[in-house]
Structure 1
Amino acid sequence: MKRFVLIIASVYGSLSVVLGAMGAHALKSVLSVDKLQSFETGVRYMIIHALVLLIVGFVFDYQTRLQKSMGWSFIVGTFLFSISIFFLSLADTLGMSLGFLGPITPLGGLLMITGWILLLFNVLKMDNTELKT
């Protein structure tokens, strides 16, 4: 799982740079200011959580259920949150009705919050020798 977390961190990091550039250049003339701001929010949360996954990927060994749950919460939460925002921002431009994605965004946010809380629990379970390494 450790390798998987680091792979996803790399994918999210690169994807956020590509999508950020796309938003800053290609989509700037296509999307309204509100839609572009939403798109940028998805990018911002994706890059932040790519960095979080990178850090927790190196810190934890993912041998416990608590650590695995934290990793999955960050991975799935970031995917649901950011991807739903990207598609909702582009719905009008794509000529698609994607309103069904609306409830997905807060679900992704809830999973990201869960990941942060599980990170806290994981850190509280660490002993001093683990914190020194």
Structure 2
Amino acid sequence: MVNLAFYLLMNKQIIITASVFGMLAVIAGAFGAHGLKAYLDATQLEVWHTAVQYQFYHVFALLFLSTFAHTKNRLINASYYLFTLGIVFFSGSLYLLACRDLIGLSWLWIMGPITPIGGLLFIIGWATLAMAAFKSK
């Protein structure tokens, strides 16, 4: 009974996480298209757009994961954490990099190496999801 409660809670947690990241992606997309257009150059706007795009891709991946969260599968849980951290590292660092000159923090160029770490987390998350599917009955 405890295991069932844990997995139902995990499912709820995944859906809430996806909903919050989805809402933030819509806000970030609209803000980039309307609020930042006059302040960022084309390259910076493209970086912002890439962050929004990958955030959305992984929101959908999280929602997909929620359909499996009721199963007793640690690989699904691992995928959840990998995708979530991937969004924070990959998209988060790109948002900061795109706006570093605008917010007056040009030293944020040091965030550059964080982006590929986020990308690696995404890749491992997808591989983990594939392993979960392969091992499922």
TM-score, normalization: structure 2? 0.88
Alignment of 1:90 with 2:92, yes or no, is no
| Deviation of 1:115 (Å) | 0.4
Q: Which of 44, 61, 85 matches 2:53?
A: 44
Alignment of 1:126 with 2:111, yes or no, is no
| Deviation of 1:2 (Å) | 2.0
The runs of 4+ residues in structure 1 deviating greater than 3 Å are: none
Tell me the number of residue pairs that the alignment of Structure 1 and Structure 2 aligns. 127
Q: Is the 8 A contact 1:76 1:108 kept in 2?
A: yes
Aligned sequence identity (%): 38
1:93 is paired with a residue whose SS is: coil
Alignment of 1:76 with 2:106, yes or no, is no
Q: Is the 8 A contact 2:68 2:76 kept in 1?
A: no
Q: Which of 127, 132, 136 matches 1:117?
A: 127
Q: Match for residue 56 of structure 1? A: 65
Gaps of 5+ in 1: 128-133
1:31 is paired with a residue whose SS is: coil
TM-score, normalization: structure 1? 0.91
Alignment of 1:4 with 2:19, yes or no, is no
Distance in 1, Cα, partners of 2:72 & 2:44:
41
| Deviation of 1:64 (Å) | 3.0
Matched to 1:98, the amino acid is: L
Distance in 1, Cα, partners of 2:66 & 2:29:
24
